[in-house]
C-alpha cells in the first residue's frame, strides 16, 4: 500500500497554496480562517503516528475538547471524508461511496457515512482508530454506521445514550442522565488512553475552548448587521469544533475570523458588493457540499446574502471552569448544542423554533432547505416546517439532493430552482416596498 491519506495530502497542498494567495487578497482573505482550520487538523492527523498520538473517531456532535485534554487526536470520520467533497470537480467522495455500496451497505444510508465506511474499507484513506465514540443522536444513520465501523475496525465503541428533549419533557432530569453518560465517556477515555484525567489540563482546555466560543458568538452577532458584512455561509465552526476545540490553533482561527468581520464592518465592506443587499437567505439545513460557491453566485448575481445557516448557528455559551465537576457538566451540555445533533435530540419543535429564531434574529427574508436524502428525521418535519413559516409569512424552498453525492442531483438541476425562488421573493419584496 502507498502513502496513507493521499487525497488529504493533496488537499493539504492545495489548502496551503490558497492560504498564501488569499491572505494577500483584501476581498477574499475572509476565507483564510476556515482554510487554516482544515490545515491544522489535517496536519495533526497525518502526523499522529509519528508523534505517537492515538486516533479516536468521535462522531461529529462530539466537541474535541475532552479528547484534546487526553491528548488524543479527534477524527470524526464523516467530517474527514467530506473534506474531499469538492475535489475531482465535486465527485471527491464518490469512489468511497461506491466502495461502501459494493460491500453491501444499503443506499439509503447517509452518504457521509457511506463515504466514511468506504474510506475505511479502502485502507489508505483514514488512519485507524483506537476507539469510537457514538452519541445516539441525531439520526438512525449514525447509530447503524458506527456499529459497522466498529465491526470493520475492531475498535471498542462507547455509545452515549441521549435522552429525549423537547417541550413537555423533564429537562433537568434528562440533563442529569446525560451528564452521567458524559462521565462514563471520561472513564472510557481513561481506559483507552491509559491515563487518569488531569484536572489542570482539563481546565486549560476548557478555558481555551471558552475563548474560542466568545469569538464565534461575537462574529455571529456581527452577521446580524444589514447589509451582512462578510460573504459566504457564515463561519462553519463545526469542523474545527469537533477536531481542534480547546487547542490554541483553533482559537487563533476563530479570532482571525472575528477580526476579519470586525475589520470589514469598520471599512464598510459588505457581502453583496456595494452594500446593495436585496435579500437575506437562511439556509437552515445543509447545502450540497459540492456546490459551496452558491453563495458567491447569489451575492454577485442576485444581491442575496446568507447571514446565518444551520451549521453556523451557535447556541452554546462559555462554560463554568470553577471546578472539574462544573467543567464536565458544561462540556456535556455543550455537546447538545451541535447543529443537527441539537435538532435531532427529540421533538421537531426544536428544529422549527430554531429556524424561526434565526429568521427573526438575522432578519432573513426566506428559507431554503436542500433536502439531503439521508436525513429522514428532518425530512419528516418539512410539512410542519412549511406550516409554521407560512404563519409568519416567510417563503420556503425545499428541493431534493444528496449533500455529498452530485450524481443524485447535479448543480444544473437545482440551481434553476434556487434562481426562480430567489427572483420571486425579491420581486415580491420590491412590490411590497412600492
Ligand atoms: S442527520 Fe442527516 S446529514 Fe446528519 S448524519 Fe444524519 S443523515 Fe447524515
Which stretches within 76-168 are classed as H helix?
A: 77-82, 87-90, 94-102, 111-122, 140-153
Confidence at residue 1, expressed as pLDDT on a 0 to 100 scale:
58
Closest CA to 340 of 239, 230, 410: 239
User: Which amino acid residue places its CA nearest to atom 2 of ligand 1?
Assistant: 375
The pLDDT profile of the chain, 434 residues, written as one tens digit per residue, is 578 999 999 999 999 999 999 999 999 999 999 999 999 999 999 999 999 999 999 999 999 999 999 999 999 999 999 999 989 999 999 999 999 999 999 999 999 999 999 999 999 999 999 999 999 999 889 999 999 999 999 999 999 999 998 888 899 999 999 999 999 999 999 999 999 999 999 999 999 999 999 999 999 999 999 999 999 988 788 888 999 999 999 999 999 999 999 999 999 999 999 989 999 999 998 889 999 899 999 999 999 999 999 888 999 999 999 999 999 999 999 999 999 999 989 899 999 999 999 999 999 999 999 888 888 888 888 899 999 999 999 999 999 999 999 999 999 999 999 999 999 999 999 998 88
Buried/exposed 381-404: b ≥16 CB within 10 Å, e otherwise: beeebbebbeeeebbbbbbebbbb
Q: For residue 348, how far is its CA from the centre of ligand 1 (angstroms)?
A: 15
Rg (CA), the chain: 21
Helix (H, G, I), strand (E, B) or coil at 131: strand
Q: Is 374 in the pocket of ligand 1 (CB under 6 A)?
A: yes
Q: For residue 275, how far is its CA from the centre of ligand 1 (angstroms)?
A: 35
Buried/exposed 290-327: b ≥16 CB within 10 Å, e otherwise: bbeebbeebbeebbbbbbbbbbbbbbbebbebeebeeb
Number of CB atoms found within 10 A of residue 360's CB:
11
Q: Is 81 in the pocket of ligand 1 (CB under 6 A)?
A: no
Residue of 58, 100, 138 with the most ligand 1 atoms within 8 Å of its CB, for mutation = 138
Are the C-beta atoms of residues 406 and 290 closer than 8 Å to each other?
Answer: yes
Q: Where are the domains of the chain?
A: 6-433
Quick one: which atom of ligand 1 is closest to the CA of 286? 3
Q: Is 76 in the pocket of ligand 1 (CB under 6 A)?
A: no
Confidence at residue 145, expressed as pLDDT on a 0 to 100 scale:
97
Quick one: which atom of ligand 1 is closest to the CA of 140? 6
Q: For residue 374, how far is its CA from the centre of ligand 1 (angstroms)?
A: 6
Amino acid at each position: 500500500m502507498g502513502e496513507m491519506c493521499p487525497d488529504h495530502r493533496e488537499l493539504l497542498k492545495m489548502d496551503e497554496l490558497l492560504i498564501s494567495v488569499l491572505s494577500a487578497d483584501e476581498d477574499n482573505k475572509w476565507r483564510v480562517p476556515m482554510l487554516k482550520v482544515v490545515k491544522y487538523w489535517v496536519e495533526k492527523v497525518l502526523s499522529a503516528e509519528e508523534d505517537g498520538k492515538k486516533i479516536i473517531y468521535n462522531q461529529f456532535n462530539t466537541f474535541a475538547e475532552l479528547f484534546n485534554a487526553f491528548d488524543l487526536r479527534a477524527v470524526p470520520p464523516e467530517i474527514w471524508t467530506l473534506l474531499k467533497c469538492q475535489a475531482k470537480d465535486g465527485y471527491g467522495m464518490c469512489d468511497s461511496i461506491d466502495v461502501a455500496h459494493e460491500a453491501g451497505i444499503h443506499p439509503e444510508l447517509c452518504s457521509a457515512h457511506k463515504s466514511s465506511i468506504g474510506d475505511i474499507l479502502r485502507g489508505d484513506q483514514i488512519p485507524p482508530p483506537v476507539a469510537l465514540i457514538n452519541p445516539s443522536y441525531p439520526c438512525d444513520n449514525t447509530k447503524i454506521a458506527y456499529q459497522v465501523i466498529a465491526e470493520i475496525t475492531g475498535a471498542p465503541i462507547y455509545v452515549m445514550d441521549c435522552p429525549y428533549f423537547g417541550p413537555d419533557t423533564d429537562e433537568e432530569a434528562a440533563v442529569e442522565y446525560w451528564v452521567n453518560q458524559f462521565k462514563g465517556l471520561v472513564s472510557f477515555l481513561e481506559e483507552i488512553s491509559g491515563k487518569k484525567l488531569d484536572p489542570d489540563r482539563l481546565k486549560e482546555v476548557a478555558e481555551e475552548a471558552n475563548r474560542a466560543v466568545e469569538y464565534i458568538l461575537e462574529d455571529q452577532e456581527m452577521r446580524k448587521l444589514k447589509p451582512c458584512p462578510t460573504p459566504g455561509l457564515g463561519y462553519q465552526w463545526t469542523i474545527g469544533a469537533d477536531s481542534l476545540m480547546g487547542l490554541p490553533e483553533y482559537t487563533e482561527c476563530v479570532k482571525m475570523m472575528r477580526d476579519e468581520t470586525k475589520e470589514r464592518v469598520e471599512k464598510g465592506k459588505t457581502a453583496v458588493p456595494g452594500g446593495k443587499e436585496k435579500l437575506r437567505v437562511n439556509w437552515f439545513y445543509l447545502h450540497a457540499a459540492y456546490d459551496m460557491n452558491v453563495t458567491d453566485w447569489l451575492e454577485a448575481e442576485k444581491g442575496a446574502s446568507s447571514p446565518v445557516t444551520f451549521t453556523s448557528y451557535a447556541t452554546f455559551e462559555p462554560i463554568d471552569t470553577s471546578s472539574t465537576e462544573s467543567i464536565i457538566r458544561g462540556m456535556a451540555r455543550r455537546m447538545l448544542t451541535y447543529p443537527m445533533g441539537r435538532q435531532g435530540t427529540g421533538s421537531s419543535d426544536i428544529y422549527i423554533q430554531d429556524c424561526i429564531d434565526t429568521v427573526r434574529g438575522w432578519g432573513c427574508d426566506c428559507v431554503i432547505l436542500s433536502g439531503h436524502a439521508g436525513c429522514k428525521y428532518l425530512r419528516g418535519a418539512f410539512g410542519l416546517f412549511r406550516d409554521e413559516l407560512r404563519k409568519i409569512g416567510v417563503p420556503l424552498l425545499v428541493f431534493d439532493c444528496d449533500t455529498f453525492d452530485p450524481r443524485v442531483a447535479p448543480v444544473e438541476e437545482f440551481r434553476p430552482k434556487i434562481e426562480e425562488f430567489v427572483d420571486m421573493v425579491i420581486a415580491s419584496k420590491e412590490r411590497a416596498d412600492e
